[in-house]
Structure 1
C-alpha cells in the first residue's frame, strides 16, 4: 500500500463540515444567550460559540459553531455542527432524556 494514500472525500449529508460562509457580514459582540442578527438569527452561547439559523445552497440549517476573529470580522471555524431542522427537532425531543442521564453522571 502506498505511503501517501489520498484521502477520499465524502459528499455525505452526515458531514460535520456544514455550511461555511467565508465572507459573512461583520457582527457585533453580544451578551451570552442574546439574539444578535435579524438576517441570520444568531444566539451567543459563550464567547465565540454561537448558534445561527443559516441558509446554504437553498437549505436551512441550525449551525452550532465556534467563530474566530480575523481582520475585524467574525468568521465561522471548523469546530461545529450543522443540523437540518428535522435533526434539530429530534435533538430537542431527546433533551429530557439527555438531562436525566447527565444528572446521574455529574
Structure 2
C-alpha cells in the first residue's frame, strides 16, 4: 500500500500528500470571488476580507466582513459591517471626498 501512495504523490497532482493539502484554502478564495460559488454575490477585498450582497431576515444588505475558516468552511466573523442599500449608496456618494482626504494624508 505505501508503494501505491508513493506512486500517487510522485506522479499525480491530486494526491493527498504535500503541497496539495495547502491548496484548498486558495481554491476557496478563488471560488468566493465567483458570484455563483455560494449563491451570494461575493468579492474578495484582501485575504479573507469579503464583500457580499446578502439577504438577512428578508432584507438585503451589503456586508463587508472578515471571514474565518472552520472545518473547511468560510464563516462570517464579528469584524465587519452590514449596510442597507441606502447606506451603501451614501458611502459611495462620499467616495470623492474621502479620496481627496486620503490623498492629502498619504
TM-score, normalisation: structure 1: 0.69
Question: Which residue of 2 is the match for residue 22 of structure 1?
Answer: none
Q: CA deviation at 1:40?
A: 0.3
Q: Relative contact order: is structure 1 or structure 2 higher (C-alpha 8 Å, sep ≥ 6)?
A: 1
**1:29 CA displacement:** 1.4
Q: 2-side partners of 1:30 and 1:78: how far apart?
A: 22
Structure 1, gaps ≥5 residues long: 1-26
> Which protein has the bigger helix share?
2
Map residues 18-97 of structure 1 onto 2, 5 A cutoff: 28-30=28-30, 35-38=33-36, 39-97=39-97
CA contact (8 A) 1:67 1:74 kept: yes
Q: Could you list the structure 1 runs, at least 4 aligned residues long, displaced by more than 2 angstroms after superposition.
A: none
Q: Aligned partners of 2:41 and 2:97: how far apart in 1? A: 27
Task: Tell me if structure 2 keeps the 8 A contact 1:67–1:77.
Answer: yes
> 2 CA distance for matches of 1:42 and 1:73?
15
Following TM superposition, by how much is the alpha carbon of 1:28 offset from its aligned partner in structure 2, in angstroms?
2.2
Unaligned runs of 5+ in 2: 1-26
- Rg (Cα) greater in structure: 2
